[in-house]
């Protein structure tokens, strides 16, 4: 198996895991207590509440229509991952309820929290691999092509309208409110997951043993760095400073090694909003 095929296999496997978490959050915690999520999933849930038709079928049909529309308007570059995710979620939404006969949690608040967290983490895993679930994302992209409106705002408006519609099907203000709670938790969980996975830190390291530290960062951590010359104003001595940017999860190993090399090293660490370039994120237009 070539490296490229293995990489693709690994990526789609991770996407399936993310979509499974998302579908489990919907079918185990939201569907049994009739809390409505946002997006096309929410529309499918409302159809299920009103007719009893498994949510996977309307999810597949609605997304199929939206994808065809997207191909005609946006072109064929929308991606194989969207089609793949659509099919996988449809299957999960139909199969999982067969094994979940009773609500795992009967309390509405706990159901909305647990369901929202699982859905958000599942979507975060999917988005982190470059996947897409389509749905209202497609609507947002189409509208954004003709109107200068933020896609995020369009998706939020769609979710608010879909969740609000649950009142006309279920006639319950309480469940409507918990739908909004779920929407907020999903959004927060996605943001927290993606930020945590991609968060980077900038390190400024002052040490007489800067060469040994720099070699470790460059060869073991495989991160670039810059040596900056300066003057310590208190001592009036010339100093060498290492400046590097690494993922936050990589920093404990670097700190541990610096402590071994030079316990007297002075280090400044700061979080950065975004890092673009080789080894990090691509520059976005």
Environment class of 163 (CB within 10 Å of its CB; exposed 0-12, middle 13-18, buried 19+): buried
Q: Greater confidence, 92 or 197?
A: 92
Four-CA torsion 139, 144, 161, 29, nearest 10 degrees: 60
How does residue 66 score in pLDDT terms, banded at 50, 70 and 90? confident
Q: Does domain 199-272 have CATH number 3.50.50.60?
A: no
Read off the pLDDT of each residue in 98-113 and give the average, rounded to a whole number.
89
Mean pLDDT of the chain: 86
Q: What is the pLDDT of residue 191?
A: 77
What residue spans define the domains of the chain?
3-197, 199-272
Residue 241 β-bridge partners = 206, 228
pTM of the model: 0.72
How does residue 136 score in pLDDT terms, banded at 50, 70 and 90? confident
Read off the pLDDT of each residue in 259-265 and give the average, rounded to a whole number.
91
Name which of 39, 27, 17 is nearest 186 in CA terms.
Answer: 39
Residue 225 β-bridge partners = 244
Name which of 24, 160, 273, 58 is nearest 152 in CA terms.
Answer: 160
Residue 243 β-bridge partners = 204, 226
């Amino acid at each position: 198996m070539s490296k490229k095929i293995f990489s693709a296999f690994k990526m789609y496997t991770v996407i399936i895991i993310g979509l499974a978490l998302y579908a489990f959050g919907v079918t185990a915690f939201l569907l049994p207590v009739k809390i409505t999520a946002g997006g096309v999933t929410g529309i499918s849930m409302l159809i299920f509440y009103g007719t009893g038709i498994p949510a996977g079928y309307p999810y597949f049909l609605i997304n199929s229509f939206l994808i065809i529309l997207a191909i005609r308007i946006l072109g064929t570059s929308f991606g194989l991952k969207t089609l793949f995710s659509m099919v996988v979620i449809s299957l999960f939404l139909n199969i999982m309820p067969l094994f979940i006969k009773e609500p795992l949690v009967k309390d509405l608040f706990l159901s909305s929290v647990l369901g929202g967290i699982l859905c958000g983490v599942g979507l975060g895993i999917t988005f982190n691999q470059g996947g897409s679930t389509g749905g209202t994302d497609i609507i947002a992209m189409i509208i954004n092509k003709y109107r200068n409106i933020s896609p995020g705002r369009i998706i939020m408006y769609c979710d608010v309208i879909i969740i609000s519609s649950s009142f006309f099907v279920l006639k319950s203000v309480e469940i409507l409110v918990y739908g909004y709670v779920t929407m907020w938790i999903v959004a927060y969980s996605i943001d927290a997951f993606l930020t945590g996975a991609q968060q980077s830190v900038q390190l400024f390291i002052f040490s007489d043993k800067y060469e040994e530290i720099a070699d470790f960062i460059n060869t073991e951590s495989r991160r670039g760095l810059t040596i900056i010359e300066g003057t310590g104003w208190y001592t009036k001595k010339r100093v060498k400073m290492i400046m590097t940017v690494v993922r936050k999860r990589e920093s404990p190993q670097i700190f541990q090694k610096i402590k071994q090399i030079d316990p007297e090293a002075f280090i400044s660490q700061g979080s950065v909003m975004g890092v673009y370039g080789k080894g990090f994120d691509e520059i976005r237009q």
